[in-house]
Amino acid sequence: MSQLNTLNRTRDNTFRVFKTDDGWRVSRGQSLYGDFLTRGDAVRAACFGARAANKRGAASLVVVAPEDHRIDPYEAHFDA
């Protein structure tokens, strides 16, 4: 019997973008998603990850520090 894959339903798909001493970091849930030199690169990577999660049928959220404001992952963020 095959086991139902519940990964997309149980994984925390909250992508957080925040400043570090060396640049910008993106986390997914409690895990590191990536380190970036610029805020714009970090926001774009978080949005890419959120869109990929959405394609798999999972809900996702992108929040950006310092105020944890929500970002729409489907909008262009050229001024990020």
Domain chopping of the chain, boundaries: 11-70
CB within 8 A of 44, min separation 6: which ones?
Answer: 77, 80
Helix (H, G, I), strand (E, B) or coil at 11: coil
Taking the model in full, what pTM does it have? Answer: 0.81
Helices (H), the chain: 7-10, 39-55
Helix (H) or strand (E) holding 17: strand 14-19
pLDDT tens, N- to C-terminus, the chain (80 residues): 445 454 445 678 999 999 999 999 999 999 999 999 999 999 999 999 999 999 999 999 999 998 889 999 988 766 55
